[in-house]
Amino acid sequence: MSIESGELQLPKDNLLMTCFVVGAFELVRSLYFSFSSVSLMVLHTNWYTIMAFLSTIAWIVTVGVLFVALLTGRPTLLVFWLLFTAFATATDIIYLIWNVTSSPIFDAEHFKRWTISYLGIFYEVTCLYLVFRYFKRLYSYVLLEGDNYDTTTKVRSTEDYIDDETEDQSPSSKYRTSGMSSKG
């Protein structure tokens, strides 16, 4: 994303735009569950509601990390979001299996609850897939560029560079390593 002449330019990359849409939906979902957990905590304060609220706060922070990762192109932050969301999705799958197998009866109310849980899991897996595809593409760029990819965090100071290179000095010895030259 770039700002040119005072206007916000949307990215031309469709996969990146889709990941931003995923992030927006995740933010809306996390805020909804946060407000739901606060209202439940006001009515019934116990350890369960407190843990639910703290989990939604962690979810909101994770969605913020997703936005930062998408804006800056940092694959490490995408891995953080992918791991957190994969863990949450696996927990939802385990909860759904437990709910289906422990139910004594099969009626419309249970079926409705299971269907909503299944659709939520399908949505989460789809979001994971889309962000993972973007991560794979971004990570391949990082592998191709090597150390040159993320130059914003690696600032080389000017005193590390020796300007007076002699004829017999190799190009790799221009940079000081722990105060010693490469010739020994």
Q: DSSP letter string over 37-68?
A: HHHHHHHS-SHHHHHHHHHHHHHHHHHHHHHH
User: Which distant-in-sequence residues (6+ apart) come within 8 Å of 137 by Cβ?
Assistant: 15
Q: Does any domain span residue 155? A: no
Q: Does any domain span residue 85? A: yes
pTM of the model: 0.67
Per-residue confidence of the chain (184 residues) as pLDDT tens digits? Answer: 444 555 555 557 889 999 999 999 999 999 999 999 899 888 988 998 899 899 999 999 999 999 999 999 888 899 999 999 999 999 999 999 998 899 888 888 888 989 999 999 999 999 999 999 999 988 887 666 665 555 455 544 444 444 444 445 544 444 444 444 444 4
Q: Are 112 and 103 in contact (CB under 8 A)?
A: no
Within 13 A of 93's CA, how many CA atoms are on the CB side? 11
Q: How far apart are CA 178 and CA 56, in angstroms?
A: 46
What pLDDT score was predicted for residue 178? 45
* Location of structure tokens 């913020």: 64
Joined together, the tokens standing for residue 47 give: 């350890």
**φ, ψ at 30 (rounded to 5°):** -65, -40
Q: Does any domain span residue 50? A: yes
Q: Does any domain span residue 175? A: no
Q: How far apart are CA 154 and CA 142, in angstroms?
A: 14
What pLDDT score was predicted for residue 139? 82
Within 13 A of 55's CA, how many CA atoms are on the CB side? 17
Q: Does any domain span residue 58? A: yes
Provide the domain count of the chain. 1
Domain range enclosing 123 = 12-150
Q: Does any domain span residue 178? A: no
Helix then strand then coil, % of the chain, to nearest 5: 70, 5, 25
Best CA proximity match to 125, nearest among 148, 96, 146, 149: 96
Q: Does any domain span residue 110? A: yes
